[in-house]
Amino acid sequence: MEREEIVRNAERLLEHTTKGRDASHDAAHAYRVRDLALSLAREEGLGDPSSPGYSQDSIEVVELAALLHDIGDYKYTKDQTDDTAMVEKFLNDEGLEDCKTEKILRIIKAMGFKNEVTHASCFDSSLEFGVVQDADRLDAIGAIGIARCFTFGGSKNRPLHDPSIPPRTALSKETYMNKDERQPSINHFHEKLLKLKDLMKTKAGQRRAEGRHKFMLDFLKVFYEEWDGRA
């Protein structure tokens, strides 16, 4: 099957499985991650046909992994596990080569922040993984990241801020994944979002993260000033 047809079918699956989700992890998020990942791939030479590192197969892996990375997101499933079974079935039904399917599943399983909470080493050091993970993390910071953070918190009826509940300084994977946690939304900046700039895997991702990171710092400064009545 041609890449264009597989991508169209992946987009249909994405639209179907994310229908009804809040806007922090909807189809629009995956489309932004796809566009960011392909853009980062070009900057890194992976998506530039004139570059020695160019590979059409790699671009297909990047695009499909980015589109499908949140299909089985544990935050929207009944259990605490990453469900890649639906993605695996889709790729097999589409007739994608086994080597590409394995790469896509490996990227999706490794890219979550929960895997780095306990400082576990990443088990995929490929450039394909780097651009997809960086793209997902870029969409979690900056203006879009701020909007997504409060959208998700609002969907869980979490408070914006509670000075009596400080950000957690030590997180286990289990605590981070606990769906019943009632942490204020603003704490998420300190527990995760402000850490992402230094976790970017590619030079292109690092460059883009700088501006988005600064935007969040400026936002937090004003947020706390307004919360305390100092602005």
Domains and CATH numbers, the chain: 3-227 (1.10.3210.50)
Token duo for residue 99: 């080597």
Cα–Cα distance measured from residue 56 to residue 73, given in angstroms and rounded to the nearest whole number: 27
Per-residue pLDDT of the chain (231 residues; tens, 9 = 90+): 688 999 999 999 999 999 999 999 999 999 999 999 999 999 999 877 777 666 789 999 999 999 999 998 888 876 655 579 999 999 999 999 999 999 999 999 999 887 776 655 555 789 999 999 999 999 999 999 999 999 999 999 999 999 999 998 877 666 665 555 679 999 999 999 999 999 999 999 999 999 999 999 999 999 999 999 998
Cα–Cα distance measured from residue 154 to residue 222, given in angstroms and rounded to the nearest whole number: 20
pTM for this predicted structure: 0.91
Cα–Cα distance measured from residue 58 to residue 151, given in angstroms and rounded to the nearest whole number: 33
Residue 227 CB coordination number (10 Å)? 13
